[in-house]
Amino acid sequence: MKYIIITGGVLSGIGKGTIASSLCHILSNSGLRVSALKIDPYLNYDAGTMNPYQHGEVFVLDDGSEVDLDLGNYERYLDRNLTGDNNITTGKVYKEVIERERKGEYLGSTVQIIPHITNEIKRRIRKVALKDDLDLLVIEVGGTVGDIESMPFLEALRQLKREERGQVTFVHVTLVPEIGKEMEQKTKPTQHSVKALKEIGIQPDILMCRSIKPLTTDSRRRISLFTDVPEDAIISVYEAENAYQVPEIIEKQGTIEIIKQNLNLETSKYMDTWIEYKEKLMNPQEFVTIGIIGKYTELHDAYISHKEAFNHATGNTGIGVNLKWIDSDSVRENIQILSDLDGILVTPGFGYRGVEGKIASVKYARENRVPFLGICLGFQVAVIEFARNVMGISDANSTEFSKETKNPVIDILPEQVNVSEMGGTMRLGAKEVDILDNTLAMELYGEKKIFERHRHRYEVNPEYIERIEKAGMIFSGRDEQGIRMEILELNDRKNFIASQYHAEFKSRPLNPSRLHLNLVKCALEYRKSRAGKNS
């Protein structure tokens, strides 16, 4: 079993996740069985209860695990489904060790960071490495070298290299800033970052140097001299117009050959499966503007899977998507903020803040026949808006927002009540969705059964379903028992659809989300129709 371990230095947010994903992509397209693992040194057990402002999107896997958004990148670049085991946190490690200590499994030993915590970290890494019959596991260590939180993980990984001789390669990601009028590349941050790594016993084998422009020959020489990393193993990861270009950038510098030599690997010729996709992505022939209506819109990483799903739509259609980020509260103050949009996406979320603005956005889309997609909470507010403004139930609401509402068109189903643990009432992970014939949903998916990922508590109240459908809203997708409503659409158009599940989580470059793809295509039709009316 071989391992590539990716650490980061100088500053956070340097691009380790994209580099890790890119390595996964080029190696898996060179005939290797590859998977990825993310180490998050925070004490939280998982990302499920973390504020998007602090941590970005919570990504959900098929098995229901709530994980770091980097696992979404891994899945997209690998075109492979991962599990909760692919995300290790300090919380998971310490919880396991303490529970074992309480059961007496350490036979009275004093439980310490070394060896008990480091052994548990290595056990979890090897569990992932061995369960899927892999050739290679790419491990990304969150944070920056020197952080107190990551020290036990780096020590465990140092031990792993010692125990698995010849099977481990360390890749260190650093920054080479460019300063002054001449934009001179400065190598000192990289030198000091590698020095800090060496001080804890780790010598990097490959350096991935982030910079605006490609590294100069002189910069490579200086970095090599002061870090003991061969010049040909210093890879320049310069600014790309789109993250999907990064695999090509690092592959063209001989990265695969270096890894093959370091780990004694046998690979086939690298096949770039994204050539046509990247061409369309980078050179769209037409453009549409789609509004992202949410309450975290100033932090785009809170909706990163939606951004990627629109990239995937562009790469498959050649239709470029300009995203307009709109805080849902601002819609209530000025509905005309939506007037220049070709399509509207109402995003997921929890809590009442911003909900009335989302409802107003749905109303605008429905009344003006603007292409619309609602996801999760976007699905629920579409039901509320329809009940209020089409069915005349003026006080229709969700019990999430109004416990006392007399018309809870959205509610918690009885079997979900009285679960005490935080997150216990959540419907999480991949669930079966049955699609009705002769519907827009069937036209888009072409299958009667699909499996999509969920992250929500509240459902369409079964007591209102028949009345809603009689009024013209069709529930074209349902769970396997026919109890939970999964997809809605309107019976008088093909550009209005919403899903209770998160269609964005399973979108891939060569297999985009059908719902996002439909929104983009409908947005272009709408744009052309408006242009025709105005000409």
Positions marked catalytic: 376, 502, 504
- Phi (first) and psi of residue 303, to 5 degrees: -125, 35
Cα(476)–Cα(439) distance, rounded to whole angstroms?
6
Buried b (16+ CB within 10 A) or exposed e, 333-342: eeeebbeebb
Cα(515)–Cα(523) distance, rounded to whole angstroms?
12
- Token pair 């690298």: residue: 270
- Token pair 């939970």: residue: 484
- Token pair 């009285």: residue: 418
- Token pair 């399973």: residue: 506
Torsion sign over Cα 417, 423, 428, 433: positive
Check: CB of residue 10 under 8 Å from CB of residue 144.
yes
- In this structure, the number of other CB atoms found within 10 A of the CB of residue 416 comes to 15
Torsion sign over Cα 140, 145, 150, 154: positive
DSSP strand pairing (59-60 vs 66-67):
antiparallel
Token couple for 294: 């949410």
Q: Please state the length of the chain.
A: 535
Cα(357)–Cα(354) distance, rounded to whole angstroms?
5
Cα(33)–Cα(80) distance, rounded to whole angstroms?
11
Q: Where are the strands (E) in 205-350, listed by range? A: 206-211, 234-238, 286-294, 319-327, 343-346
3 state SS of 107 = coil
Q: Which long-range contacts (CB under 8 A, 24 or more apart) does 301-305 make?
A: 301/52, 301/56, 301/57, 301/69, 302/52, 302/53, 302/56, 302/57, 303/57, 303/347, 304/56, 304/57, 304/69, 304/72, 305/57, 305/59, 305/69, 305/72, 305/502, 305/504, 305/505, 305/507
DSSP letter at 138? E
Buried b (16+ CB within 10 A) or exposed e, 162-185: eeeeebbbbbbbbbbbeeeeeeeb
- Phi (first) and psi of residue 453, to 5 degrees: -95, 140
Token couple for 500: 């209770």
